[in-house]
Structure formats: C-alpha cells, structure tokens
Amino acid sequence: MASRNDPGPQAYKNTPSAMERHTSTHAPFLAEIVAVRTWQCLNGRTSLDWTRENCAVYTIRVVAPAFRISYFLTGVYLILLNWFVLSWPLIFRYNLVPNQGSVKPGNVTLNVCMLLWGVDFASLAVAYTYAWANSRREWWWGWSLLGFRPHHTLLMILYAIFFAAVAVVGTISTHTALSHMWHARNVWFAALLGLQCIMLVVGALGDAVDIGSRRGIQQDSRVASVLLSLRLRALVPVTVIFSVAAVFASWPPSYCLQC
C-alpha cells in the first residue's frame, strides 16, 4: 500500500507513451503539456523519464526558489530602508501616472510594464496559495512538528495572506525601480530590474521543472498547474519584453547624459 506522500504506481508512470499517465491527469491542458515539453527540452531528453536529470534541470530546481526568496528579501530591505534609515522617501517618491493628463509613449510603456508585473505577482500568489493549501506533503510549513494540520479553509487563508504580502512587496519594489528609472534616470534601478527579469525567467522555468515531475504541482492543485503553465508561456515573455522596452524608454537613443 502506497504512503500518502507517494503518488503510487497507478497515479504516475515513468516513461509512458501518453502524457496523461505521466501527469496523472485525464485531460491535460495545452499549457500543461507545453510546460512538460519545456522540462524535456531543458533536460535534453525526448523520453518522459523523471529518474534522469542533467545539470541544467537540477540547477534550476535548486536556484529558482532561492531567487524568489532573495528578491522578496530585497523588497523587504527597500521598505525597511525607506521607513527607518533614509530621511527622504525612496518608495513612491515618483509617480508613474502622468501629471495633468500629459501622456508620453515612454510613460505608457512603463505603465503597461508595471501592470504586467502586477498581474504576474498576483497570478503567482494565487497559484502558490492553491498549491500549498492543497499540498499532500505534511512537512510543509512544519505542521507535523506542531502535531496537527489546520483545517483546509484556515490553511487557505493563512497561505493567501502570506503570498499576498509577497506579491505586494514585489509590486512595491518593481514600482520603485520603474519610477526611479523614468524620473531620475537611475542606472542602478535599471540593473535591479534586469536582475529581476533574470529571476523571473529562472523562477518560471523552475515551475516548469516542477510541473514536469512525478511530485509536481499538478499533484497538489490543478488550478496552480494551469496558472503557472499559462504564466510560463504567455505572461513571462511579454513581461520581460516590456521590461526591456521600459529601460529603452527611460534612456532613448536620443538621450544625452551631458545635456
């Protein structure tokens, strides 16, 4: 008899002929199939063999959570720096909304970029709330150490509060980087945005790696699996493109540093 943490031989099948047996889903969505194919491409194999991983997949699996934690801590650091250290406001010092109705193409680009990042943080928060609240892994958040597991509704509320806070911190940090780029032409915040884009891509690939494994996200929540798969192929590329466009909008080809 399989344990609760083991999906069991009937749930998943290694190197199957059909995607349904690999994902333990009767009818996987196209976005989920594309996520699994992304994992295959990264792994350099055509077979659905979860027992073999190359260095790229292993590195992404380890680095992706660390990147997300580090960026969250960076946002928390900016907020604490703004509240307790600096004598002038760092956060919300500048506004991305046009003043007195004046709209410039570059301003539109930065606002669309900010909107995309906000949607990305929100979708990530919703997906991980569903994944963690429905997880079959009892050791998550140390509930087994406390000797009990809270009711599912309470778990959903606790995780929703936590991931909503993570999304808010990320949104504030992104707004700070974009606004300082646009108004103050601060190259350090442009570098921060570039690093954030790298973390975004690696984190999305980490989700693809998790979806393409036997103990993947689809095991815990189908909603999370679909959201993260759509985010990987639709939202993340557009967000990165507009982030690069926001940098060029802040420093257009006609911009003169000495003028």
**Where does residue 236 rank: exposed (0-12), middle (13-18), buried (19+ CB within 10 A)?**
buried
Return the residue matching tokens 């990530």: 124
Q: Which of 72-76, 93-97, 205-209, 252-256 has the lowest mean pLDDT?
A: 252-256
Residue with the larger pLDDT of the pair 7 and 160: 160
209 has a pLDDT exceeding 50: yes
* More confidently predicted of 134 and 241: 241
Is residue 143 a contact partner of residue 64, using CB atoms and an 8 Å limit?
no
pLDDT of residue 250: 87
Lowest mean pLDDT, pick from 30-34, 59-63, 90-94, 110-114 = 30-34
In tens, the pLDDT along 110-124 reads 999 999 999 999 999
Mean of the per-residue pLDDT values of the chain: 80
Other C-beta atoms closer than 10 Å to the C-beta of 6 total 13
Reference 207, options 68, 70, 112, 91; nearest CA is: 68
SS (H, E, C) 9-59: CCCCCCCCCCHHHHHCCCCCCHHHHHHHHHHHHHHCCCCCCCCCCCHHHHH
The radius of gyration of the chain's CA atoms, rounded to the nearest angstrom, is 21
Alpha carbon separation from 212 to 39, 91, 149, 216 (Å, rounded) = 6, 39, 28, 6
> Has residue 14 got a pLDDT over 60?
no
What pLDDT band is residue 38 in, cutting at 50, 70 and 90? Answer: confident
Q: pLDDT band for position 139 (50/70/90)? A: very low
Residue 125 pLDDT class (50, 70, 90 cuts): very high
CA end-to-end span of the chain, whole Å? 75
Give the SS3 label for residue 240: helix
